């Protein structure tokens, strides 16, 4: 686990997952350096003047050199999407400056599932639903698996949600429920999947840090509850105390320019995963989904997100046909 006084470098770190991880590391007494392009709002860092920031692109050798002006007990890489992005960290001079490299990957690296829930023994490989994202993340993991002389651990979250989620994964559903709008779910809404609460993922980064037995391994990181898409919406409605007006549609029946567009971030794709391996490794214990959703809803309410009435072109089309 992360020790007080540890020196941490977070590559990416001001928007969502990196932000939660930065705050968790500070709370644990770590010395934190952020390396990012400086393009995302970072006003929240004003309350943490001890955080050192290095602005630059990771593809720029000079910027990377500035970020590695010292040795680090751990480096948390939040934004490795291509093998060429991770390669410099596995080679001199940077590899020797990293005590433990922890890389954020995704459960989307798995090949089409032969069984559910998916654990880390399930093979990685191409998946038609995830395209280039799957290919890039798998290439990164392949490079990490082949690396010599670097203690590296991979974390695989799934559908990460919580405060500051700029993709609005859970927020998409919470905002519509709060506004009393119908929620359109593709097909029957029975695809089973898991979610990952952002602060839990941050705790996973800290939890695996420095553990020799974590080196060379990958770990799913997700909540314990496996929910269908419909079940997730109903749980969101339950924590808000509102009814869930769930309606189903067939995406293939959409017309014209609407075809190929989706309502909501979640696909009609089963991807139930198990996080038992990381729970056996360290003190990682995921937040119950209902509690995590309450916290997310509270943040949305505080930021005024519930004051808007969101809609997409597909929703407008479907609502007009009711």
Distance CA 8, CA 32 (A): 5
Q: Does residue 316 sit within a domain?
A: no
What pLDDT tens digit does each residue of the chain (322 aa) get? 899 999 999 999 789 999 999 999 999 999 999 999 988 878 899 999 999 999 999 999 999 999 999 999 999 999 999 999 999 999 999 999 999 999 999 999 999 988 889 999 999 999 998 999 999 999 999 999 999 889 999 999 999 999 999 999 999 999 999 999 999 999 999 999 999 999 999 999 999 999 999 999 999 999 999 999 999 999 999 999 999 999 999 988 898 889 888 888 887 788 999 999 999 999 999 999 999 999 999 999 999 999 988 889 999 999 888 7
Q: How many domains does the chain have?
A: 1
* Token pair listed for 60: 């720029």
Q: Does residue 294 sit within a domain?
A: no
Rounded to 10 degrees, what is the CA torsion of 283, 121, 226, 304? 70
Q: Does residue 94 sit within a domain?
A: yes
Q: Does residue 73 sit within a domain?
A: yes
**pTM, two decimal places:** 0.96
**What's phi and psi for 189, nearest 5 deg?**
70, 30
Q: Does residue 233 sit within a domain?
A: no
Q: Does residue 291 sit within a domain?
A: no
Q: Does residue 312 sit within a domain?
A: no
Q: Does residue 77 sit within a domain?
A: yes
Query: What is the CATH number for 199?
Result: 3.40.50.720
Distance CA 6, CA 141 (A): 25
Q: State the residue range of the domain holding 40.
A: 7-161+195-223+272-286
């Amino acid at each position: 686990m992360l020790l007080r006084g540890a020196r941490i470098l977070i590559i990416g770190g001001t928007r969502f997952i990196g932000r939660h991880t930065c705050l968790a590391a500070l709370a644990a007494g770590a010395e934190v350096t952020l390396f990012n392009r400086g393009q995302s709002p970072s006003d929240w860092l004003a309350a943490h003047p001890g955080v050192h920031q290095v602005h630059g692109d990771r593809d720029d050798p000079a910027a990377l050199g500035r970020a590695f002006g010292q040795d680090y007990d751990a480096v948390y890489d939040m934004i490795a999407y291509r093998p060429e992005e991770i390669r410099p960290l596995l080679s001199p001079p940077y590899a020797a400056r990293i005590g433990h490299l922890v890389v954020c990957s995704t459960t989307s690296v798995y090949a089409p599932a032969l069984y559910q829930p998916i654990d880390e023994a399930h093979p990685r490989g191409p998946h038609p639903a995830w395209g280039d994202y799957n290919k890039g993340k798998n290439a990164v993991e392949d490079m990490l698996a082949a690396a010599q002389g670097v203690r590296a651990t991979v974390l695989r979250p799934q559908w990460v949600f919580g405060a500051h989620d700029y993709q609005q994964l859970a927020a998409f559903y919470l905002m519509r429920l709060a506004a009393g709008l119908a929620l359109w779910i593709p097909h029957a809404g029975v695809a089973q999947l898991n979610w990952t609460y952002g602060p839990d993922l941050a705790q996973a980064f800290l939890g695996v840090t420095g553990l020799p037995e974590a080196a060379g391994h990958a770990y799913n990181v997700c909540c314990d509850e496996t929910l269908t898409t419909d079940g997730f919406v109903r749980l969101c409605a339950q924590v808000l105390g509102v009814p869930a007006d769930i309606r189903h549609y067939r995406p293939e029946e959409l017309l014209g320019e609407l075809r190929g567009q989706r309502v909501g971030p979640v696909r009609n794709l089963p991807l139930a995963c198990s996080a038992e391996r990381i729970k056996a490794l360290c003190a990682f214990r995921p937040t119950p989904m209902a509690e995590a959703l309450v916290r997310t809803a509270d943040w949305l309410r505080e930021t005024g997100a519930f004051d808007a009435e969101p809609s997409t072109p597909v929703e407008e089309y479907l609502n007009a046909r009711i």
